[in-house]
Structure 1
Amino acid sequence: MFYHRKKQSYILNLFNYYSSQKQNLSSLLLLNLTDLSKPSLFFAPFLLLPCSLSLQALSVQTSNVIQGTAPYLTFDDGATKVMSFEGALGIKLANISYIPQGINSTLYPNAIVDTSNINNPIEMPNTTYTFADIQTIVPIASYPNISLTNLVNAPYNYGRDDDGDGDGSINATGNLTIKWQDSSGKDITEDVKANPNMELNFCNAPYQLTLSTTSGYLSTEYGIPKTTYFNNANHSYYINPNRINAKVCFAQPSLHAQQGDEQKEYWVRKKGFKVQPFNNPTNNFPTTGSNKMFFYLLLAGITPEQVIAVNGSTVQGTGGNVTLQLSAATTHGWGSISYPERERALKVELIGPTRNSTNTRFLPTEFKLYSDNIGGHLIYNFKIERWFIPRPGQVNGYLNAQNFCRSLGYGYRIPGVEDYTNANRPDIGWNNGIPGRNIDMYRRALSYRDGNRWVGGFFNEWGVMSDANSGYPGTDWSVYDYWAYQARGGNEWYSVGSGGGNINTTAISSHLYNTNRAACVSP
């Protein structure tokens, strides 16, 4: 009740009481005082004493402020009275509400007490979900923080006082802060603020949403109690997209070697190739292949075993005689302390024509992997457009390398420099790599066509061809220079190093002439 209303009530009660006492007093004064004896006259003033005492008592009684209720926070139009800041740290997803541990959960009978952590995150209830769909007390436009004063008054009106003591305005102190982080710990709060309709990405999950408050209070001008104090509080939620949105995040071949100028939208240093849209399978690694070459698919929202259960351990491609062997594995770090991370992943091994195959024919082959048995959710696709068959050991010169490729039939040939690397080396006349990049080492990138010619090939996609842990043990590849078909002069041919895609020339008279290796490509 407002204080000025209390004053009005007090005056009205006083007036009524005084009027009744005045009538009694008037009757008393009608007595003939001259008829009273002197002792009676002595007591006459005390006849007014009851009236005086009653008025005094009334004055003391009405000057006390009537006891009411303290101001509080509410986010459901008064149905729930929040008397601690923990209650302001809840979130809402669709029709599900979550509240922090440690608050009076009986006030929220339809809410779930949050126990999420990085290993047991909340799963979004819908298949398509954006950051805007995760509702908190902090408006997205106010990220990363907002003062409590702005929340308790218009337009939000989260502050309430049942006595009306606030007279339309509640004073408040304290601030609320929100922070979004992805699974790497990167602060993405400003990204969410700028793009609230951005969908949650399993490759960046689980997300961590932290709400925190400073200490503060709510206060009204009148009434007792008129102030509610809040202690500082914070709570973090861990959130995953719906599992139907499971996906492949990276395709990881050997992480050796890297020049350092890789494009971050396609390659991540300790992860590998980023997954690109599925509308064109040649956008994804690999576009080149060779028998027993392998890579890892880093998954999110699904396990390697689940992918194998859906697709089988052997996957047939479309259009050729290359297959995939799938197995659950742990990435082996590629033999370097520079890449110490080990991750559970799906190992993908290519099985296809070799130098000993009775049928070496190759046709471009597309592969698709799904996360469901009905083939409704594609998680990865790629297309191999060139197939390589290496010969182990020395071949003793260019002509022997040429003869080896011809013996395979089906158009196999000695690769060109562009079939191996996207590097350039202008000082020896090679400029058909990535335009404008005059570096004699490959950039880790997918190969692509520029008109009728390829820019890049096997080494820039797959990395170091070592038979040790840094490369691909079990294959016929090794760390040597491989012959290219282009000649720089009459008795000098180009060759490409399998360690970094660097470009060299080798003359017949060179001592390296017999040490170069041979590989063949189709088509």
Structure 2
Amino acid sequence: MVASHKLLVKIKETLTNLSVFHLQILFDFYSKTTRLLSFSLTPIFIGISLLLTTYVNRAIALSSEVIHVAETTNVINGTAPYLSFDGGKTKILGVDDIFWMSYQVGNQTFRYTLDNNTSSQQNPILLPESIKTFADINSIIPKNYPIPEWAEDNGQQIEFNSRYDRQYFFDDDGDEILSGAGMVSLKIFDEADDYGSDDLAEWGERSYKRSDLIDPCRYSYRMVLLSSISSVLSKFGVPSRRSFGATVTEDEWNDDPWAFEDRLVLHIKPAVSNPYACWAYPLTQPTPHSEHIGNEWVASDLYRESGAKKGYQLQNINSPSANFPTTAGDSFPFNLTVAGSFPHELSYSKQPKDSIINLTIRKAEEFRYYGNYPNEATITLLGPKAGQPNTSFSPTTFIIYADQAQTKPIYSFTINKWFILLEDGKRTFKESREYCESIGYRLPTVPELTNVKNVELNWHQGYPTGKEGFSKVQLGGGIIPEWGSDVFRLDRHIYRKFWSNNRHKNDNYYLVDAYGLIFSEPITEQIGYALCISP
């Protein structure tokens, strides 16, 4: 029995080293021999038979598998390779699978492509109020795809190359990807800076993330889906090429990727059922990022902060004295941005009705630093000025409405003080005071002009100057901090000082310049302008 076992082990070792051809010959010979022999099969012969059968079958199966692999590495009849940015869940098979954006309202999906997108700056897609953020708008780029660290415009961008980024390339037949490269990006901008132009470039001063709120105060936005992709080529497949537009090799694409770009630009505008005032910005304030005192003014990094509101915010529509402006003069302008209404739809009322203080409302023109919004109105205050016979003033309250029927109040303010500037030259302190008294006004105090302190000149009220070197923005902080340094300037090159009614020492009185800075000069010097304030 032991000898038989050793014999079978030896036979097994021998069979392992035989080729399929020799195994088949041995198996045929053994089968014929056992049929010719008249003796019954002993256990040893049964063992040999089983070993031969097992090894021959295994060898034949292995041979068949090798032959099959050799055939499929030559030609794979199946499907072309493709791209995917979500691990293969969403297949990118062509241009139509790249250039689309969509959003959902209930069970209804609104999908926009190169074929059906008719949106423009003048005719944006009106988004329902249920769409709150840009992440509510879908695209081929996943919502949570990270923004590259080097991106300055908050744009999502996917760059890929078959040599390094295998995770974006797929082939359902298991074929090897030989070449393919490209990029797809999604960038979002508001359209304030180029509204009305034909420039749909993939850049802008104010950019947004997918997670940002869609602010109706910005009126409209553009979402730019940009793509440039070479053909994707597999090694053996039939078909072996997938093109996304023009048939472009990876080498051609690498030479000039921008030559093959295409884009889908979606212009969108959020719907507003109840109009409201966004912010008020004095056009005499040259620096919208100015430092400020109090919570009424909201400023930001002008060029990069997404969706930043710039200007005075409405504090309380039922308390007009808490809102900008509180003081004014003839032809003082400010822009009022309104969500859900246009300038030609606005109207106003005033109290008392017989006040000679009035205002005009017109469509805003483009203003430096501020952009140009179709929903932005320029409001200009009108009233007494130098040379007019009637300079009487009484505090006047205005209410701005979003409609001509005056049923939708959106903003209110009260003018408590009125300024008149005599612009025909510099005067002494006495000459300035006499002029103001002649029209029933008076010289203003330093706090009515500025909120800056000057310890060296023994003026301790107010605040230090800002980093820019002049007064900080402040509602109710004086005419210059409230309205800005351009409020009494004929142009940007005329430097003015205004006499105040506050005495410094001896025959010196304080003056305040256009930047809100404080000076002291003898009353006999013809150095200041006559700026008068209502009593």
Query: Shorter-chain TM-score: which interval?
Result: 0.5 to 0.7
Report if aligned partners of 1:420, 1:460 keep a CA contact under 8 Å in 2.
Answer: no
Distance 1:259 1:133, change over 3 A: closer
Aligned partner (choices 504, 507, 517) of residue 519 of structure 2: 504
Match in the other structure for 2:22 = none
Distance 1:469 1:175, change over 3 A: same
Is residue 2:299 matched to residue 1:266?
yes
Q: Structure 2 counterpart of 1:96, which letter?
A: F
Is residue 2:111 matched to residue 1:97?
yes
Alignment of 1:230-245 (within 5 A): 230=244, 233-244=261-272
Deviation of the 1:92 alpha carbon: 0.4
Hey, what's the Cα distance between the residues in 2 that align with 1:430 and 1:439?
Answer: 20
- Find the residue that maps to 1:210 and give its secondary structure: strand
Match in the other structure for 2:157 = 145
Aligned partner (choices 305, 320, 325) of residue 286 of structure 1: 325
Match in the other structure for 2:8 = none
Distance 1:158 1:93, change over 3 A: farther
Report if aligned partners of 1:286, 1:446 keep a CA contact under 8 Å in 2.
Answer: no
Distance 1:294 1:464, change over 3 A: same
Residues 120-170 of structure 1, C-alpha deviations (whole Å, 9 max, x = no match):
4433244653111110121122132347899xxxx9x99795xxx459x99
Report if aligned partners of 1:492, 1:506 keep a CA contact under 8 Å in 2.
Answer: yes
- Find the residue that maps to 1:132 and give its secondary structure: helix
Aligned partner (choices 367, 391, 396) of residue 399 of structure 2: 367
Deviation of the 1:387 alpha carbon: 2.9
Deviation of the 1:251 alpha carbon: 2.3
Aligned partner (choices 201, 209, 212) of residue 224 of structure 2: 209
Alignment of 1:321-360 (within 5 A): 321=355, 323-328=357-362, 331=365, 346-352=377-383, 356-357=389-390, 359-360=392-393
Deviation of the 1:433 alpha carbon: 3.4
Hey, what's the Cα distance between the residues in 2 that align with 1:259 and 1:241?
Answer: 25
Hey, what's the Cα distance between the residues in 1 that align with 2:372 and 2:222?
Answer: 21
Deviation of the 1:413 alpha carbon: 4.7
Match in the other structure for 2:497 = 481
In structure 2, the gaps of 5 or more residues are: 1-66, 147-155, 194-202, 249-259
Aligned partner (choices 179, 186, 190) of residue 179 of structure 1: 186
Q: Structure 2 counterpart of 1:290, which letter?
A: G
- Find the residue that maps to 1:415 and give its secondary structure: coil
- Find the residue that maps to 2:144 and give its secondary structure: helix
TM-score of the aligned structures, taking structure 1 as reference length: 0.59
Aligned partner (choices 432, 436, 459) of residue 430 of structure 1: 459
Hey, what's the Cα distance between the residues in 1 that align with 2:497 and 2:218?
Answer: 38
Match in the other structure for 1:131 = 134
Match in the other structure for 2:419 = 388
Deviation of the 1:278 alpha carbon: 2.4
RMSD of aligned Cα (Å) = 5.3
Deviation of the 1:460 alpha carbon: 5.4
Hey, what's the Cα distance between the residues in 1 that align with 2:300 and 2:401?
Answer: 21
Distance 1:212 1:438, change over 3 A: closer
Hey, what's the Cα distance between the residues in 2 that align with 1:266 and 1:287?
Answer: 19
Deviation of the 1:99 alpha carbon: 1.0
Distance 1:332 1:98, change over 3 A: closer
Query: Identity, % of aligned pairs?
Result: 21
Match in the other structure for 1:253 = 283
Deviation of the 1:269 alpha carbon: 7.6
Hey, what's the Cα distance between the residues in 2 that align with 1:233 and 1:226?
Answer: 23
In structure 1, the gaps of 5 or more residues are: 1-58, 102-112, 449-454, 472-477
Report if aligned partners of 1:129, 1:241 keep a CA contact under 8 Å in 2.
Answer: no
Distance 1:269 1:501, change over 3 A: farther
Q: Structure 2 counterpart of 1:89, which letter?
A: F
Match in the other structure for 2:483 = 461
- Find the residue that maps to 2:461 and give its secondary structure: coil
Is residue 2:475 matched to residue 1:447?
yes
Distance 1:117 1:141, change over 3 A: same
Q: Structure 1 counterpart of 2:281, which letter?
A: A
Match in the other structure for 1:228 = 242
Match in the other structure for 1:9 = none
Deviation of the 1:98 alpha carbon: 0.7
Hey, what's the Cα distance between the residues in 1 that align with 2:206 and 2:421?
Answer: 46
Report if aligned partners of 2:436, 2:530 keep a CA contact under 8 Å in 1.
Answer: no
